[in-house]
């Protein structure tokens, strides 16, 4: 594959995690999701997790320096390439990233606010393997078990309507400016997140192998 330093950009619920799992399965990149790493820190009640939990439950961003310190070593250790999911999310994070890694391509998955709310209120996630489901197309109402690993399905604490609204506001204010930031660097590719997940994935394959 030609491109091995990859960033997934997009609002909450655009499908970054869904696409990330398929991309790393196919290409063997290291999947670095700052949201997943933070949720693990919260579950283990580490110092970072205790600090991050308050920001995450409100839908606010965790302070830049904590995130940069958390992710930098993981990126530098990813010898076979990396897929960044949820990082960078602010201009300060993007500038820091640019100081310790090169980026081959930024996959920007766009999705409007109303669809984000619809998707996130109906999302369920497996506690065991992290598989992502949605009540609108691949999970029956009342089903609580993961079809892949048998783990327990749960609803994320930040997938409540008021928190989702705050997350989207913050995306527009702090993260959307990165679209122009990476466009200026000539590495941005934009995908329509409203398309089915197979179609989005096949477009990503075309971009990554071009």
Selected catalytic residue, list 3, 53, 89, 124 = 89
> Is 3 among the residues known to form the active site?
no
Q: Does 167 bind ligand AP5 (CB under 6 A)?
A: yes
Judged by CB under 6 A, the residue of 89, 103, 108, 182 near ligand AP5 is 89
Report if residue 59 touches ligand AP5, rule: CB under 6 A.
yes
Question: What number of chain residues touch ligand AP5 (CB under 6 A)?
Answer: 34
10: left (phi over 0), alpha (psi -120 to 50) or beta: left
Q: Which stretch binds ligand AP5 (CB under 6 A): 52-60, 142-150, 176-184, 202-210?
A: 52-60
Is residue 44 flagged as an active site residue?
no
Cα dihedral value 76, 128, 63, 20, nearest 10: 50
State the DSSP string of 3-51: --EEEEE-STTSSHHHHHHHHHHHH--EEEEHHHHHHHHHHTT-HHHHH
Choice among 16, 39, 53, 189 that is catalytic: 16
Q: Which of 7, 9, 14, 106 binds ligand AP5 (CB under 6 A)?
A: 14
Rg (CA), the chain: 16
* Residue 124 falls in the annotated catalytic set: no
Mind telling me the catalytic residues?
16, 89, 123, 156, 167
């Amino acid at each position: 594959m030609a491109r091995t330093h990859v960033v997934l950009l997009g609002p909450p619920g655009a499908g970054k995690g869904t696409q990330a799992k398929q991309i790393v399965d196919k290409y063997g990149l290291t999947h670095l999701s700052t949201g997943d790493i933070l949720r693990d820190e919260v579950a283990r009640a580490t110092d970072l997790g205790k600090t991050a939990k308050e920001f995450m439950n409100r839908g606010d961003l965790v302070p830049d320096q904590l995130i940069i310190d958390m992710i930098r070593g993981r990126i530098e250790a990813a010898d076979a390439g990396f897929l960044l999911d949820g990082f960078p999310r602010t201009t300060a994070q993007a500038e820091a990233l640019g100081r310790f890694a090169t980026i081959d391509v930024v996959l920007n998955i766009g999705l409007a606010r109303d669809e984000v709310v619809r998707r996130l209120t109906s999302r369920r996630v497996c506690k065991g393997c992290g598989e992502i489901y949605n009540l609108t197309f691949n999970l029956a109402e009342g089903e609580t078990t993961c079809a892949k690993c048998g783990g327990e399905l749960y609803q994320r604490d930040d997938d409540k309507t008021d928190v989702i609204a705050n997350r989207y506001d913050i995306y527009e204010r702090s993260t959307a400016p990165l679209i122009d930031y990476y466009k200026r660097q000539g590495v941005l590719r934009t995908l329509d997140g409203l398309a089915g997940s197979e179609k989005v994935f096949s477009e990503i394959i075309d971009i990554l192998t071009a």
